[in-house]
Amino acid sequence: MSLWSYLTKRIGFMTVTLFFVTIMTFAITNILPGNVAILILGENASPERVHALRDQLGLTQPLWIQYIDWLGDLLHGHLGQSLRYGQPVEALIAERLPRSMLLAVSAVTISIILSIPLGVIAAVKRNEPADLAASMFGFVGISIPVFLWGIVLVMVFAVWIDIFPTGDYVNPLQHPIAGIRHLVLPASALGFALTAYIMRMTRSSMLEVLGEEYVKFARAKGMSRRVVILKHALRNAIIPTITVVAFQFAYAFGGVVVLEKVFYWPGIGQLTLIAIQNRDIPLLQGCIIVIAIIYMLSNLMADVLYAYFDPRIRYGGGE
């Protein structure tokens, strides 16, 4: 199987998965308690006005017709009108999307820079002080919620030392220095939380690979320890780590609603929270679909990297 055939098959699978995601998203958001018309008009609105608004919003039609209409708009790139903001949902998401992307990419970059070297060192120095220290850091990172990392960093670096702002967003393209200063704390908080997972996976993969016969053979040939570890062991051990990195990127992108709240970061996570609080169904549906697509694209990127690091995968495992 060629690489393009492999990717075509994966994209087809993603398309089917996304279709089922749209069904689940529409079904779940429409069984949430509350009445959208009453939320818009207020508790004192007359039944006639409530019914008229529901009819205007298309909420009096059967759910399957509402779904078909919504899916048709979705295929044309229209996600509906936000009930909270009165603006197109796609415009609101497009405004928040780069901010969440910036935070996610920065956090994952920090985590990769920290976790992979720590995982390799921990595996090579197994049961030595360096391994114990790295493992302890991993346990602490996994145990502490990401929002607590944020609070700790704010207390230390924004309140006590006062070298970084407590939060908010500044566009780094317009104000590079200020933008980076506002990015450091939220990206570091999220990066530290992600580091623990990636480091532990890297350590486990390296320990497994270091026991393989080809690694022992490379050592027996007289290759330096650095070449054996970096060229032979790490290249094969990195494949399971790619999966974790892909999932952590997707998590960083859409699953840090609380962290965005801590740092007043106006990303898609905070937009999702606003949609839930206001029962803004079109906005909530749009956010869920975008986050789901990010998860799928992250997995697709992991598949591409699999094929790069292990050519056997793209040919169907040697078929």
Does 219 reside within a domain?
A: yes
Does 118 reside within a domain?
A: yes
Does 121 reside within a domain?
A: yes
Does 195 reside within a domain?
A: yes
Neighbours of 216 (CB within 10 A): 12
pLDDT tens digit string along 45-94? 677 776 776 676 666 677 788 888 889 989 888 888 888 888 899 999 99
* Radius of gyration (C-alpha) of the chain in whole angstroms: 24
Find all residues with CB under 8 Å of 173, minimum gap 6, and list them. Answer: 179
Domain encompassing residue 244: 100-309
Does 273 reside within a domain?
A: yes
Secondary structure E strands in 9-150? none
Neighbours of 47 (CB within 10 A): 8
Does 41 reside within a domain?
A: no
Scanning the structure block, which residue is given the tokens 């928040």? 96
* CA terminus-to-terminus distance, the chain: 8
CATH number of the domain bearing residue 152: 1.10.3720.10
167's tokens: 């939060």
Length of the chain: 319
Does 10 reside within a domain?
A: no
Q: How far apart are CA 153 and CA 178, in angstroms?
A: 18
pLDDT tens digit string along 195-253? 888 888 888 888 888 877 877 777 777 777 778 887 778 878 887 888 788 878 877 87
Q: How far apart are CA 163 and CA 87, in angstroms?
A: 37
119 contacts 184 by C-beta, under 8 angstroms: no
